Amino acid sequence: MDRPATAAPITARDIILEIVRNMREGLEPLRYTTLPPAIFHVYLHPDDMDRLRAIVPRIVEEARRALDAEAESLNRATLAEKLKLARRDEAKIVIPEGGWQIRILENTDADAAPGDLEIRSELALPAKEDYGTGALTKRIATRRLGGVESTKQSYDAAPPASAVPSGAFAVIEYEDNGGRKTFAVTKDEIVAGRGGRDYWTDIKLDTLPDVSREHFRLRRDPATGNFFLTDVSSLGTTIDGAKVPPRQETPLPARARIGLAGVLILEFRTTPHG
């Protein structure tokens, strides 16, 4: 499919307006309140990021002000009418307790183009009967490619933990956009990342573009059973909070928290077979 041609360079005002649009698209009405997304990750092409980098703090500040103003405006007007909902008791938008969390980052995808703008946001929801028990996360992705806007939403509930197959050397547990998952390490070398064309991964992570298509490699020494991690990402990997040197094998403890670009945590542990 041909992508639309970029209409014009992205501006700071475009970014703020798109953050506000993302918030509106992600509103979740409950019985007595309406929840907005609280966490926003904004992705810009490196060229646009370089051009706007000096004013990123100002963009974030004004985006927070714009979100406050939009929430106030929707609460002041007839919210049900603006959201095309049936009349009901007042369900005013509640500003997130921790405030609006906004990060502006480079889009490391190879197919990103100057002028592209992507925003991924999320909010936590109470359980709904349709999804069974347990907490839910609502994720909203809005994109503007060549001036054409699109929106995608999903609701994720954590599935029950998977049984670990016998013979696994180690287990890696994590939660990405597809929910809670368990990966059994049954061979001596694996690769983890978002994957994609020309990028083979054993652990294919459905997560933010901060995580590289090939993010880290894991190697097991058959003689000792010890594991070693090599960071091959753009935005970095940590082991128990400590940054891993890039392109260099680092010993991995028997139990460890592997952090990817500050947006995803993988819980690693060896098994008796390891």
Residue pair 209/176 in contact by the 8 Å Cβ criterion: no
What's the pLDDT at 12? 96
d(CA 91, CA 80): 8
Q: Which of 175, 236, 238, 177 is nearest to 208 (CA)?
A: 177
> Is residue 30 located within the same domain as residue 120?
yes
> Is residue 79 located within the same domain as residue 201?
no
Answer yes or no: is 131 within a domain.
yes
> Is residue 152 located within the same domain as residue 178?
no
Give the end of a domain, one of 94, 122, 157.
157
Answer yes or no: is 2 within a domain.
no
Residue pair 17/137 in contact by the 8 Å Cβ criterion: no
> Is residue 93 located within the same domain as residue 40?
yes
Dig out the tokens for 87 from the structure. 């009349």
> Is residue 136 located within the same domain as residue 182?
no
Beta carbons within 8 Å of 114's beta carbon, 6+ residues apart? 6, 9, 10, 45, 47, 48
> Is residue 218 located within the same domain as residue 243?
yes
Tell me the chain's radius of gyration from C-alpha atoms. 21
How many domains, the chain?
2
Residue pair 207/176 in contact by the 8 Å Cβ criterion: yes
d(CA 251, CA 249): 7
Secondary-structure breakdown of the chain: helix, strand, coil percentages, each rounded to the nearest 5: 20, 40, 45
> Is residue 141 located within the same domain as residue 192?
no
Residue pair 123/37 in contact by the 8 Å Cβ criterion: yes
What's the pLDDT at 144? 87
Answer yes or no: is 4 within a domain.
no
Give the end of a domain, one of 104, 136, 157.
157
CATH, residue 254? 2.60.200.20
Burial of 248 (0-12, 13-18, 19+ CB in 10 A): exposed
Residue pair 122/146 in contact by the 8 Å Cβ criterion: no
For the whole model, what pTM was predicted?
A: 0.57
Q: Which of 259, 252, 254, 247 is nearest to 270 (CA)?
A: 254
Answer yes or no: is 7 within a domain.
no
CATH, residue 86? 3.30.2320
What's the pLDDT at 180? 84
> Is residue 37 located within the same domain as residue 134?
yes
Answer yes or no: is 137 within a domain.
yes
> Is residue 111 located within the same domain as residue 199?
no
Residue 25's Cα: distance from chain center in Å?
A: 17
d(CA 130, CA 98): 28
Answer yes or no: is 202 within a domain.
yes
Answer yes or no: is 162 within a domain.
no
Residue pair 246/232 in contact by the 8 Å Cβ criterion: yes
> Is residue 78 located within the same domain as residue 132?
yes
Phi-psi label, residue 63: left if phi above 0, alpha if psi -120 to 50, beta otherwise: alpha
Give residue 73's domain range.
12-157
> Is residue 200 located within the same domain as residue 133?
no
Answer yes or no: is 1 within a domain.
no
Give the end of a domain, one of 157, 185, 219.
157
> Is residue 17 located within the same domain as residue 132?
yes
In which residue ranges of the chain is pLDDT below 70? 1-7, 77-90, 126-136, 156-165, 273-274
